Amino acid sequence: MDSQREYWIKNMVCSRCLKVIKQDLREIDVDVLSLELGKLTIRITTEIDNKIDLKIAEVLHSNGFGIAKNEEEMIVENIKITLIEMVTGLPLHIKEKTSEHLAAELHRDYKMLSKIFSKKENITIEKYFIKLKIERVKELIQLQQLVFSDIAYLLDYSSVNHLSRQFKNVTGLSMTDYKNSQIWERSFLDEII
């Protein structure tokens, strides 16, 4: 008799991640029913190897992912995915507070989300979101297609001065110094914490 099994995947934040994982799972004959950011659903049969969890964990680990082991880890991953999706889709014009957006998206009380995130990641959601935005700013600076005021606008900063202060607080450099240095150190969005 066929049944389904779900896995919550940590660090999966882009469409390329989906393609790689789906391909690798097919190579080990895993029947993928659905794969979306942070969540994998497979079909299992009674004849299937009882070591399927280990095989899936190995595929995920070899690609820099992991399996969320409990509900709190799943919540943290959903928060990360939601915020990363916000930052990658520009312009970032948030019509509501980030806290309200997360609560609505995840159907949970924000205080509970904040408490779990801070406990698991040792950083507040707000500081994590700022780090994500600054990484996006670095990318936009490197592309050299926009002036700082346009970057501030795209990332929903009230002014270029506000963005400049946050950039310097996070990186230790002014945006101009970062642009001129051409030593552009960046982090992958899924590796920020």
- Measured distance CA(131)–CA(118) in Å, rounded: 15
pLDDT of residue 124: 96
Of 37, 34, 32, 111, nearest in space to 74 by CA: 37
Of 2, 80, 95, 5, nearest in space to 38 by CA: 80
pLDDT of residue 50: 63
Please list the ranges in the chain whose pLDDT falls under 70.
1, 46-50, 93, 189-191
- Measured distance CA(175)–CA(137) in Å, rounded: 9
Tokens of 110: 């924000």
Q: The sheet that has 39-44: what strands, in order across it?
A: 31-36, 39-44, 3-10, 66-67
Q: pTM of the prediction? A: 0.78
Tokens of 30: 């895993």
pLDDT of residue 122: 95
Tokens of 89: 């889709």
Residue 58, phi-psi category: left (phi > 0), alpha (psi -120 to 50), beta (remainder): alpha
